[in-house]
Chains A and B, each alone.
Chain A
Amino acid sequence: MENVLEVKELCKKYEGFELKNVSFSIPKGMIVGLIGENGAGKTTTIKALLNVINKDKGSIKIFNLELQQNEKRIKQDIGVVLDDSFLSEYLTPKSINKIMKNFYPTWDEATYFKYLENFNLPENKMSKEFSSGMKMKLKIATALSHKPKLLILDEPTAGLDPVARNDILDIFQEFIEDGEHSILLSSHITSDLEHIADYITFINNGEIIFTKSKDELTENFGIVKCGEDEFNRFYKNDYIKYRKSKYGYDVLIENKVEFKRKYDISIIDKPTIEDIMLIYIKGSE
């Protein structure tokens, strides 16, 4: 499968935090969800992918081109939505059009105003008067109107109500429908990714824990809920991690079928991405 983005061994060191050999890729036409708790390194990774921060080591290839040498060319085809950063809130959507058309030769005014209309965003109102959902929709309209091939979104659904979140996820689905467009979406709201992501890349403490297809995670992974006696039967190599609570053990396993056969267990729960993330972060080996 063709990749639109390939990150290899990316390192960036700050005082008190470090991205350690981050490697992952985004296949063409897919949505990759970057998950991890706050401070895990999602935003730092995204900032490095966009060359907003200087990486210490590693290679970043986007559209088969080295980012460092082809930054301007690559960025023409990327649309970005950042959770905490945009143009001034004293600007109206109309004035944003006047600004943005200078940066992208492919900027399409008609598409932009169509998005504004579809999202019910008033053209002449300053965005500071918008609700959080409207502000996010404005950011997305702005990111989509130069017809990018890749969308990079940092926490696009944080702080939104379920209806607005659903609307936004629909927009992303529509964007990748033709198989030519791809999305990297970082979020700590894992249920959003369960809806739309094809692949999940899990980052914790600056390190990539895994990249797996969502179906593999939800179909093959499992959680065994058991007591201490039963838990003691399990070989360490047969499970990933476990969490002990006052009601018993939650054991995360990677191959449900194999585990069922080996230990003759009838019920293995289907985990949510949140369950997997929690046991990985909080659990013991």
Chain B
Amino acid sequence: MNTLKGLIVKDLQTIKSYKSTVIYMVIIFVVCAFFNKEVTSFLPIFMPLCFEMLGISSFSYDNLAKTDKYILTFPLTKKEIVKARYIYILIITLLGTLLGFVLTVITQGIKTSNMFDKEFLCNIVATIIGSLSAILFLQAFQIPIMYKFGAEKGRIIQMIMIVALMIGISLIVTTLMKFFNISLDNFIVMLKDYIIAILGVSVIILYTLSFAISCKIYEEKEI
């Protein structure tokens, strides 16, 4: 347990040195959100996305100092290193999501003095569920890519992967819609009641698979 904590603290301490950059980023985002008509969607989408990228950047810091080689001389296993990295990225993403939610509510409060409007809060929560699922979905692919190809090559490959995934998903959805002869609106209505369960289960399955694949890649990797 302490080993995992040590690895997570290592990543958190490293990112601490970037705190001023993070603060500027948050301020710019809040200002943008303030002048944006779509208050409910801006911060809940971009804040977790940026924090997620911050989490993934831990691969780059490690690469820069060749930390992996050093860490492997500690009394720990490769599986623990992978596990800690997943937990760390998840913590950072959730932190971004929480910050996105709180700042959106505050921004709305300042703009309309109606911070706790039920419909408004529902909209934010819906946006957050959507964006968080998409990000976690993405992460499940990103992390094994980083382990396989390293921080430098991995960054390019993940871009290609994101585009490929988007095209792939839209192709599957349009094919399904054509097959069942339904429109996009109907498709969404159809899924409405199950969407949270579908998203939740898919993310858990993908994440578990992703973790197992990353462990295997890292176990076999020569550092």
Interface size on B, residues (CB 8 A): 28
Q: Is the CB of B70 within 8 A of A103?
A: no
Q: Is the CB of B13 within 8 A of A103?
A: no
B: residues with CB less than 8 A from A are 2-3, 5-6, 9-10, 13-14, 16-18, 61-62, 64-70, 72-77, 222-223
Q: Is the CB of A103 within 8 A of B67?
A: no
The distance in angstroms between the C-alpha atoms of A104 and B76, with both chains bound, is: 10
Q: Is the CB of A90 within 8 A of B70?
A: no
Selected contact of B66 from candidates A76, A78, A84, A98, CB within 8 Å: A84
The distance in angstroms between the C-alpha atoms of A73 and B77, with both chains bound, is: 12
Residues of A within 8 A of B61 (CB): 88, 90
Selected contact of A72 from candidates B2, B65, B76, B222, CB within 8 Å: B76
The yes or no answer to A100 lying at the interface (CB within 8 A) is yes
Q: How far is the CB of A133 from chain B (nearest CB, A)?
A: 18
The yes or no answer to A273 lying at the interface (CB within 8 A) is no
The distance in angstroms between the C-alpha atoms of A78 and B70, with both chains bound, is: 12
The yes or no answer to A87 lying at the interface (CB within 8 A) is yes
Selected contact of A86 from candidates B18, B70, B74, CB within 8 Å: B70
Q: Which residue in chain A gives the minimum CB-CB distance to B5?
A: A102
Residues of A within 8 A of B67 (CB): 85-88
Selected contact of B73 from candidates A54, A78, A91, A100, CB within 8 Å: A78
Residues of B within 8 A of A91 (CB): 13-14, 17
The yes or no answer to A270 lying at the interface (CB within 8 A) is no
Taking residues whose C-beta sits less than 8 angstroms from the other chain, chain A's interface range is: 20 to 34
The yes or no answer to A215 lying at the interface (CB within 8 A) is no
Q: Is the CB of A50 within 8 A of B73?
A: yes
Of the candidates A71, A72, A103, the one having the most CB atoms from chain B within 10 angstroms of its own CB is: A103
Q: Which residue in chain A gives the minimum CB-CB distance to B220?
A: A54
Q: With A87-B65, A103-B3 given, is the CB distance from A98 to B75 under 8 Å?
A: no
Of the candidates B10, B62, B222, the one having the most CB atoms from chain A within 10 angstroms of its own CB is: B10
The yes or no answer to A281 lying at the interface (CB within 8 A) is no
What are 21 A-B interface contacts by the 8 Å CB criterion?
A: A47-B69, A47-B223, A52-B72, A71-B75, A74-B75, A78-B73, A80-B73, A82-B70, A82-B73, A85-B66, A86-B66, A87-B65, A88-B14, A89-B65, A90-B14, A99-B10, A99-B13, A102-B9, A103-B3, A105-B2, A126-B17
